[in-house]
Structure 1
Amino acid sequence: MKKISSLFLLALISGAVTLGAYKVFFEPRQVITDASERQTPFINTSFPAVATSADDVNFIEAAENTVHAVVHVKNVTISKAPTSLFDFYYGSGGTPRAQVGTGSGVIISPDGYIVTNNHVIANATELQITLNNNKTYTAELIGTDAETDIALLKIDPEEDLPYLAFGDSNQVRLGEWVLAVGNPFNLTSTVTAGIISAKARDLDERDDRFQSFIQTDAAVNPGNSGGALVNIRGELIGINTAITSQTGSYVGYSFAVPSNIARKVVEDIMEFGNVQIGNIGIRGIDAKNVSEGIDETEGVYIDEIIEDSGADQAGLQSGDIIKSIDGIKVSKFADLTGYLRSKRPNDRVSLSILRNSNEITVPVTLLKNTTYDIRNLGLSVKELSQEDIRKMGDIEGVKIVNSVSYWKEGNFDLEGKVLVAINDMKTASIDDVKEAISNLSKYRSLSILVINENGERERIYIRD
């Protein structure tokens, strides 16, 4: 009996040891956490994110409304193909041939006004508009602005058309969702989505032309030019205009003219017949490109004040650095010019400038642009002041205020002289100069007529 009891006790102890070892080494441990400690300082995100409310991103309504306000633009031009060597070299004849180009446009009013790119309709002899419902109309060209690449067309529909309202492009933010709508590859209206990648983008800082684009990664391809860039509320915030690619097709980025600029160009064309440009009157460069003397890397450094300009009257000085305009930050020259393109002569702006390490606010009244860079000729001209007329007599022309180096290398000292004609077209104003330049043929010679300080006329012939 004693032996059995010993064996039972030994078995009982062994079982307890085995159970204890299992509990310690093999059974999952239960962790008890106080409810007050469950909050975490990290934000948990599931991928992909799932929309849970009406406030979440939704492209459906914006896309459905936009496609009906975007149109297909067909541009028919007539060119003469050379039929002989004589035609080829002298351009004196040839067989007329119709060439067809295509693009997109955006209806901006129910009565049929349409905005598109200038390059979409350039040199057109006939313009045809096809709506999203396949109705086709002949369009009238109301006006264009090559500088901003904007054109205004008009069709006469039988009923009110769907249209897009302009949004405020100054308020768009980096990372904001957008839709690009157009007619790539001659397809009907196509919608692509992306985000705002950059603002006030200058594609070529070496080019003195105006450039201040919205950059997006929404896919844009040939045929999208002139189409709509809209936000998720369906507001028009840009006119798609360009891609940068070695192949001519989309490779990741595309560019749009900001809606504030497009709207102002359209309103000017409708009211004045041309674009009214409000000018500060400075020559400036990005602060980051100033080689010495300043520590600022953002802003526009004023290199020169134009005589009798708004800047001159407001007391701006060479060496000032523009940091903001009307409360909008200015990091580079394209920020400044992009904002000014939405203003007119006699508008008043508030500049925040840095002068001798002190930041001050200066109100400036914008004046009509009295200076113009003639890129074809490498000359900068300005309209004559009353002092110029007093000194040189009662003449009509524009004063040459700057010239590129090759004029000086050719012993032509043109600065200070008055340009009175280009190819015998009078140049009594900046508008006259623009008109004369627009009528120049790319491959023909030209002449300019100037008057020097002694009242003597000088004619200079220029050949390509």
Structure 2
Amino acid sequence: MRQVLLVLSVIVSLFPVAASAETRVPESAAEISLTFAPVVRSAAPAVVNIYATRVVAQRVSPFAADPFFDQLFRDFGRRQPRVQNSLGSGVIVSADGVVVSNYHVVGQADAIRVVLNDRREYEAEVMLADQDSDLAVLKLKGADGLPHLPLRDSDGVEVGELVLAIGNPFGVGQTVSQGIVSGLARSGLSIDGGRGYFVQTDAAINPGNSGGALVDTAGRLVGINTAILTQSGGSNGIGFAIPANLVRSFLAQAEAGESRFQRPWAGVNGQAVDAAMAEAMGLDRPEGVVLTELDAASPFRAAGLRPGDVVVALGGQRTDSPQEVMFRLSSMGIGSQAIVTYLRDGESRETRVALIAAPETPPRETLILRDSVFAGLTVERLNPAVRAELNLPLTLEGVVVRGAEATAGRAGLRPGDILLEINGRRIERPRDVEAAARERVRWWQIDVLRDGQPLRLRFRL
């Protein structure tokens, strides 16, 4: 009986404590810190609004009001200039006015105006831009002593972390939305022209947020907001940001004076290992990227890798897709070395791979034709550098069209076409095109490879 009374007294003594816990007013700064105001106060001044304008030539047709004739005479009418305006966001990353944004915001702009949170305005110029990564680096003219954000090591970001998206959605002014990191290593996506590897978040990223900051609760830059994937067109979707580690690599190249982003060249083809492939190769689970093809000059081949090897990590970070491999290489940069972890016959191995630019061997032999039947044609010999620039297969050889204007354009040639034969003459070097153009014939036949498909062009002079 005494034990029962003792238990009851303990239970009764707990009730006042529970009641006071429910009604007690927070008494310390730590207890009332459930607010993002300090983070926003620190980070928001470094997020800017970007107004970009571009002049384009638009064809004015007298049939524009008639859907049938407008389609029929689509190329009829004169061209006149028209100004296109775009609105986006950017992030200041240095006190002297270096700003990071998206390529699709400023990449092709003729004039760029940047407005700070405190309403100061600056003209800006593009230092470095890359459509494949959808990143651009700007420099504000005459800027100094500006607020800026530190970059976080995005490899340390974890799913579930709280993040804030700061930008200028819909042009209403700077706005903050809150969410969590809901996914990492999102690859295989093509968003606004950018391809690759993204941090996924459920923070709202609306039109105008592009180029803005995704920051953590310490006010560090986790990534550059790029797009939201939604079925309704609203903010109820999933957002994607370009990781800060790739931004860091861009900034290093911009400061070094590069005019375009230089990616390390792997010289390999590969595909993600799925369940069926893992079973066939005797792997415990699907992981990594199996190498299917290596260029003769590939640094991976030089390091001892061969077709059939499965690359599972670069620099200690997992790689489960070709996009992840390219992201890791791009983040490391040309001139460094990467520790590659791979599987061969089920055994884990490591080696070091030198990160190099795509070789210019053999020389590209650029040729521009001006006074011939192919006037306006620019061609180059395929080599690793040219193939990398155009995302062409490793084994493709021959001559590629880099420009087709004037007569060459009217003949039906397009940039990216691989020239195979001209009037039955095999084309292997740019000088073969020049020799073929000297023939005096009225009928011409050009065999090309376009988007991987053979095509024959015929025209008469």
Output the TM-score relative to the length of structure 1.
0.72
Structure 1 residues 233-272: aligned runs within 5 Å: 233-271=218-256, 272=258
Structure 1 residues 44-59: aligned runs within 5 Å: 54=30, 58-59=35-36
Task: In structure 2, give the amino acid aligned to 1:301.
Answer: V
Structure 2 counterpart of 1:223: 208
Distance 1:51 1:128 in 2: 46
Q: Equivalent of 1:164, from 141, 149, 155?
A: 149
Question: Which segment drifts farther, 333-342 or 139-148?
Answer: 333-342
Distance 2:48 2:386 in 1: 44
8 A Cα contact 1:71 1:105, kept in partner: yes
8 A Cα contact 2:272 2:290, kept in partner: yes
Task: In structure 1, give the amino acid aligned to 2:7.
Answer: I
Distance 2:336 2:167 in 1: 34
Structure 1 counterpart of 2:49: 72
Q: Equivalent of 1:273, from 243, 259, 264?
A: 259
Distance 1:365 1:52 in 2: 54
Matched, 1:397 2:377: no
8 A Cα contact 1:280 1:364, kept in partner: no
Distance 1:74 1:303 in 2: 45
Structure 2 counterpart of 1:293: 280
Q: Equivalent of 2:122, from 114, 134, 137?
A: 137
Deviations 1:201-260 (A, max 9, x none): 025389997410000111110000000011111111100001112344322310000011
Pairwise CA distance, 1:314:
0.7
Structure 1 residues 62-461: aligned runs within 5 Å: 62-85=39-62, 89-90=74-75, 93-157=78-142, 159-204=144-189, 210-271=195-256, 272-288=258-274, 291=277, 293-294=280-281, 295=283, 296-370=285-359, 383-385=360-362, 397-399=381-383, 417-419=397-399, 421-423=401-403, 445=414, 448-449=418-419, 452=427, 456-457=432-433, 459-460=446-447
Percentage of matched positions with identical amino acids: 31
8 A Cα contact 2:380 2:401, kept in partner: no
Task: In structure 1, give the amino acid aligned to 2:37.
Answer: I
Question: Which segment drifts farther, 241-250 or 166-175?
Answer: 241-250
8 A Cα contact 1:66 1:234, kept in partner: yes
Output the TM-score relative to the length of structure 2.
0.72
8 A Cα contact 1:192 1:218, kept in partner: yes
Counterparts in 2 of 1:146 and 1:402: CA distance versus 1, 3 Å: closer
Distance 1:144 1:309 in 2: 26
Give the total of aligned pairs.
383
Pairwise CA distance, 1:113:
1.2
Distance 2:325 2:239 in 1: 21
Structure 2 SS opposite 1:72 = strand
8 A Cα contact 1:69 1:162, kept in partner: yes
Counterparts in 2 of 1:290 and 1:157: CA distance versus 1, 3 Å: farther
Distance 2:313 2:42 in 1: 36
Structure 2 counterpart of 1:60: 37
8 A Cα contact 2:182 2:201, kept in partner: yes
Task: In structure 2, give the amino acid aligned to 1:368.
Answer: A
Distance 1:445 1:314 in 2: 38
Deviations 1:98-134 (A, max 9, x none): 2221000111111111110000013322111111111
Counterparts in 2 of 1:286 and 1:225: CA distance versus 1, 3 Å: same
Pairwise CA distance, 1:83:
2.7
Distance 1:311 1:207 in 2: 31
Q: Which structure has the greater CA radius of gyration?
A: 1
8 A Cα contact 1:180 1:230, kept in partner: yes
Deviations 1:127-166 (A, max 9, x none): 1111111122221222211111111112134651111111
Distance 2:301 2:382 in 1: 19
Distance 2:328 2:305 in 1: 19
Structure 1 counterpart of 2:7: 32
Counterparts in 2 of 1:86 and 1:207: CA distance versus 1, 3 Å: closer
Pairwise CA distance, 1:334:
3.3
Distance 2:34 2:354 in 1: 41
Deviations 1:5-29 (A, max 9, x none): xxxxxxxxxxxxxxxxxx9xxxxx7
8 A Cα contact 1:277 1:343, kept in partner: no
Task: In structure 2, give the amino acid aligned to 1:342.
Answer: S
